[in-house]
């Protein structure tokens, strides 16, 4: 059980960091951001993506989830983070407006975390067959 948790967590950290930073960096460069700024902010996003990817990977590893379960775990983590972000930074009565304004955060996290869940499930299954 501890091995499944550790393998899932480590795979999630690596995959989540790479996917979140890569997606953010590409979007920032296509938006016209200077390359040095895009790289700096991508590193910050990589730390956040790695942390959240670790949570997704741990859930996939502990629950022995398949690809669909990994995708659902990634979606659930991104929705929880978006909800906590909206509740934490907006005032009562402005949740809908703040959620609408924060959709770039939701889009930037949801796709990489879903892909992280699917990738961790596939790699975990591959490694289990080899070891």
Q: How confident is the model at residue 37 (pLDDT cuts 50, 70, 90)?
A: very high
- Which distant-in-sequence residues (6+ apart) come within 8 Å of 45 by Cβ? 20, 21, 24, 108
Structural tokens at position 107: 């889009």
Convert the pLDDT of each residue in 5-18 to its tens digit: 899 999 999 999 99
Residue-range domain boundaries for the chain? 2-130
pLDDT at 1: 81
């Amino acid at each position: 059980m501890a091995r499944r948790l550790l393998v899932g967590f480590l795979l999630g950290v690596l995959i989540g960091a790479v996917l979140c930073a890569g997606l953010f960096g590409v979007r920032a460069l296509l938006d016209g951001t200077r390359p040095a700024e895009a790289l700096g902010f991508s590193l910050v996003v990589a730390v956040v993506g790695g942390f959240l990817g670790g949570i997704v990977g741990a859930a996939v590893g502990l629950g022995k989830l398949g690809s669909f379960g990994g995708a659902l775990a990634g979606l659930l983590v991104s929705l929880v983070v978006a909800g906590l972000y909206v509740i934490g930074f907006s005032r009562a009565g402005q949740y809908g407006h703040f959620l609408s304004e924060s959709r770039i955060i939701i889009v930037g996290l949801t796709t990489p975390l879903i892909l992280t869940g699917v990738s961790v499930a596939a790699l975990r299954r591959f490694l289990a067959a080899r070891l």
